[in-house]
Structure 1
């Protein structure tokens, strides 16, 4: 997955190599690359299997975005897009 992400990033930079510095398209491309880098840094965690039972050691660092149980509880409450509660009789 890491190799595929690197190849995709490289391909996009190569495709935009000819953009004029300071142009609107150049600025948008750089902003997009920075947003993608931020998302990957904060939301993708590398892990390595530690046994055959399915346990993993995760590389969680200071930049990793962490949710909390309150966020999860809030997500389960409320209305659906149709305006009625999920699974209500």
Structure 2
């Protein structure tokens, strides 16, 4: 229980960041979070499943904070709501399955 409450709060905060301004999706996310934690509420603190469930909640929170970007259509374009916690990477390389990497150079792609 000691670690479950911070994980629960962190997940709710992450959902608030990821879905800010979209009340319908935010409400659904909060409901889903509550249901998930209620499903595990009967677990004893010594149950070996507890650390895995807490870790899962922390990982989901990280994905919500860093990898979810909302877009809103504005005419013919979409405006993205990128916030300070959104993970940004460079687009110098693109990785393909099997470890193959391609270098992107202007308008051309070539093997490294």
TM-score (norm 2): 0.55
Q: Which has the higher contact order (CA 8 A, sep 6+)?
A: 2
| Aligned pairs for 1:14-25 within 5 A | 14-25=38-49
Quick one: distance in 2 between partners of 1:69 and 1:8? 34
1:59: Cα distance to partner?
1.5
3-state SS in 2 of match to 1:69: coil
**More strand by percentage:** 2
Q: Which runs of 5+ in 1 are unaligned?
A: 80-89
TM-score (norm 1): 0.66
Q: How many residues get paired?
A: 76
CA 1:22 to 1:46, structure 2 compared with 1: closer, same or farther past 3 Å? farther
Q: Which runs of 5+ in 2 are unaligned?
A: 1-24, 102-112
| Higher Cα radius of gyration | 1
